[in-house]
Structure 1
Amino acid sequence: MLAVSGEPPDGPGWAFEWKWDGVRATVAVADGGVVAHSRNRRVITESYPELHALTELTRHTVLLDGEIVALDERGRPDFDRLQSRMHVHRPTARLLREIPVAYYVFDLLAVDDRDLCPEPYDRRRQRLLEFGLSAPPVVRTPDNYVDVSGADLLRVAAEHGLEGIVAKRRTSTYSPGTRSRSWVKTALRLTQEVVLGGWVPGEGRRAGTLGALLLGAYDDTGTLHYVGHVGTGFSDTALDEMRERLAPLHRPSSPFGTPVPRDRARRAHWVEPDLVGEVEHRQWTADRRLRHPSWRGLRPDRTSHEARLPPT
């Protein structure tokens, strides 16, 4: 179940949770083992062996929904740190020590043979708390908040460097695969998922490597719109890794269904629009381009058609 973007709703019928800057994952715990899936249904269990801690916390068969996060030195989710784990299928012991992850559980979808998705949010939350799924720092069931102002809570999130908040209608059922208005997310910074459609070589200090990525997003008709380019936010290591990932995706022509500016198109190396990334930006321009985007990282947990243009 996915949230729509919007301002925090008013009224007594809402519960609020913090918006965690990580990777969404459903985790099944059964018979002493775990199986984790990303949002695009990839099995990611081996990438995050920390999830096996859940087997020590319950003897029931459960299906959980939550967020995998990597924390900074102040205990806040850090997406940049998580990037070092997101693309590693079998992390080494050293990587596990240097960049551990935690699983923040926020929903309980099934217990033993009982499907809880048709039950209201408040009931699912009550059942989740009864399980006591907490083994800090590896597993946590974060607090939720009722009878509070979403606007006030958003200010608290800003003060503590969190990504934002999510409001959930307390009577709402859980609708798998649905982007529902019963869940409303409010982010403190603007981010956008983008499809990589090409790249241009660097100049000066970046000569011989990648200079900028050419970005796209899909509209409701399935057309891939060119939405701009990004050349900031990369480490030297990230640039090298990106070239390696893009090389086998080469294609002879533009994948975009809208024009790319001539100065970019004439130097472009086009690629199949398979990779999804995320950028932070200031705003959308009137011609539907990203203003001052900065690269945040690849999103292997997303499919390309999830990178959508915002509604006009």
Structure 2
Amino acid sequence: MAVPYPVEPMLAVPGELPQDCDEYALEVKWDGIRALAYVDGGVRVSGRHGADFTSRYPEIAACMAPLAGRRAVVDGEVVAFDPQGRPSFARLQRRMHVTDPAGARLLGHLPVSYMPFDLLHLDGHTLLDLPYRDRRELLDSLGLGAPPYLPCEPEVLEATRRQGLEGVVAKRLDSPYLPGRRVEWWVKVKNLLTTEVVVAGWRPGKGRRAGGVGSLLLGMYGEASPGRFGFQFVGHVGTGFTDAMLEDTHRLLKPLGIGQSPFSSGLPRQITKDARWVRPEIVGEVAFTMWTLDGRLRNPVWRGVRIDKVPAEVRREERE
């Protein structure tokens, strides 16, 4: 069987640690972006929806060196680590839009790592129907440096919290791999609340930010009223930006300007005052403390643009 390309990654649902923990294993939830590596003479890399990441992350090809002469499809996460060895989405953000990191002299300055966690195809054989436990054993035998999977115990989640990690993913040991599906066999358990949002507009900055972006107006897709789907306002964010992030965001939004609000319903004047509206095409990620009763993000902090996400898929995730 030929190596399939591209494969849409299987996705997890949000929730808590499973009650029947003996049936699951835990993986660290790395603060990065999903990437699949296809080894067949050379190495190609794709993200969600078939996005070509091959030139963006040449480090993945080096990681696949032990598979020389073999054919495989590996699922994993691209992660950038800070000087203290902690995953840093802010550092990864600086690589996301660079298609030639070697030419931009970023490979030494802002390296990324590849964290393999699943094996979907090997030497002409599809592994999608094999249990997760068996796929992991095969992956671990290949010498790719895959991080270990761990017992499903509350102490493991607590250890990730103490280390400042994003959380864990609980994966059922007997689960097959269903490309493109979000299923309850995989459960993401977060230490920090984060969510994707769609940028719908921005308000001009003041003082040091004068002439650029002061804050972003954010939305998600959902039920605007019973039986009516729409694009809903969920808050605005003005913190968490570096100067470089503000400049990059302004550059991305400037050509998307439109003359009216893209939201399905009207907003109070205090929110729309001085707003610059844009086509809702840019997806970002924020950290926040909680959802308010009126469906707004409380204390959101900007984490960066997500080029691996599609705006129409951005909806509120509820914990079980």
TM-score, reference length from structure 1: 0.93
Q: Which one of 106, 124, 136 corresponds to residue 125 of structure 1?
A: 136
2:7: which partner in 1? none
Secondary structure in structure 1 of the residue aligned to 2:293: coil
1:275: which partner in 2? 282
Secondary structure in structure 1 of the residue aligned to 2:245: helix
* Range with greater deviation from structure 2 (42-51 or 235-244): 235-244
- Does 2:180 match 1:177? yes
Question: In 2, distance between residues paired with 1:38 and 1:310?
Answer: 21
Q: Which one of 144, 157, 170 corresponds to residue 160 of structure 2?
A: 157
Runs of 4+ with deviation above 4 angstroms: none
> Given that residues 117 and 175 in structure 1 are in contact (C-alpha distance below 8 angstroms), is that contact kept between their aligned partners in structure 2?
yes
* Range with greater deviation from structure 2 (69-78 or 223-232): 69-78
1:244 is displaced (CA, Å) by 1.1
Mapping of residues 278-293 of structure 1, within 5 Å:
278-293=285-300
> Given that residues 29 and 54 in structure 1 are in contact (C-alpha distance below 8 angstroms), is that contact kept between their aligned partners in structure 2?
no
1:98 is displaced (CA, Å) by 0.6
* Range with greater deviation from structure 2 (215-224 or 172-181): 215-224
1:101: which partner in 2? 112
Question: In 1, distance between residues paired with 2:295 and 2:211?
Answer: 31
Question: In 2, distance between residues paired with 1:6 and 1:41?
Answer: 27
> Given that residues 226 and 259 in structure 1 are in contact (C-alpha distance below 8 angstroms), is that contact kept between their aligned partners in structure 2?
no
> Given that residues 69 and 102 in structure 1 are in contact (C-alpha distance below 8 angstroms), is that contact kept between their aligned partners in structure 2?
yes
> Given that residues 48 and 309 in structure 2 are in contact (C-alpha distance below 8 angstroms), is that contact kept between their aligned partners in structure 1?
yes
Mapping of residues 56-205 of structure 1, within 5 Å:
56-58=65-67, 59-92=69-102, 94-134=105-145, 141-146=146-151, 148-149=152-153, 151-205=154-208
1:92 is displaced (CA, Å) by 3.2
Question: In 2, distance between residues paired with 1:284 and 1:96?
Answer: 39
1:202 is displaced (CA, Å) by 1.3
- Does 2:313 match 1:302? no
Secondary structure in structure 2 of the residue aligned to 1:157: helix
Question: In 1, distance between residues paired with 2:155 and 2:267?
Answer: 42
Question: In 2, distance between residues paired with 1:166 and 1:311?
Answer: 16
* Range with greater deviation from structure 2 (112-121 or 84-93): 84-93
The aligned length equals 303
Secondary structure in structure 2 of the residue aligned to 1:275: strand
Identity %: 46
1:10 is displaced (CA, Å) by 2.8
- Cα gap change, 1:311/1:160 in structure 2, threshold over 3 Å: closer, same or farther? closer
1:266 is displaced (CA, Å) by 3.1
1:6: which partner in 2? 15
> Given that residues 200 and 264 in structure 1 are in contact (C-alpha distance below 8 angstroms), is that contact kept between their aligned partners in structure 2?
no
Secondary structure in structure 1 of the residue aligned to 2:294: coil
Secondary structure in structure 2 of the residue aligned to 1:254: coil
Question: In 2, distance between residues paired with 1:106 and 1:310?
Answer: 24
> Given that residues 221 and 232 in structure 2 are in contact (C-alpha distance below 8 angstroms), is that contact kept between their aligned partners in structure 1?
yes
Q: Which one of 11, 24, 27 corresponds to residue 34 of structure 2?
A: 24
Secondary structure in structure 1 of the residue aligned to 2:253: helix
Q: Which one of 51, 72, 78 corresponds to residue 42 of structure 1?
A: 51
- Structure 1: segments with no counterpart, 5+ residues: 135-140
TM-score, reference length from structure 2: 0.91
Question: In 2, distance between residues paired with 1:174 and 1:297?
Answer: 29
1:78 is displaced (CA, Å) by 1.1
Question: In 1, distance between residues paired with 2:134 and 2:208?
Answer: 57
Question: In 2, distance between residues paired with 1:217 and 1:28?
Answer: 33
Letter in 2 for 1:132: G
Letter in 2 for 1:251: I
* Range with greater deviation from structure 2 (89-98 or 275-284): 89-98
1:218: which partner in 2? 221
Letter in 1 for 2:276: H
Secondary structure in structure 1 of the residue aligned to 2:107: helix
Question: In 2, distance between residues paired with 1:55 and 1:15?
Answer: 24
Letter in 2 for 1:166: V
Letter in 1 for 2:19: D
Q: Which one of 237, 241, 258 corresponds to residue 265 of structure 2?
A: 258
> Given that residues 29 and 63 in structure 1 are in contact (C-alpha distance below 8 angstroms), is that contact kept between their aligned partners in structure 2?
yes
Secondary structure in structure 1 of the residue aligned to 2:78: strand
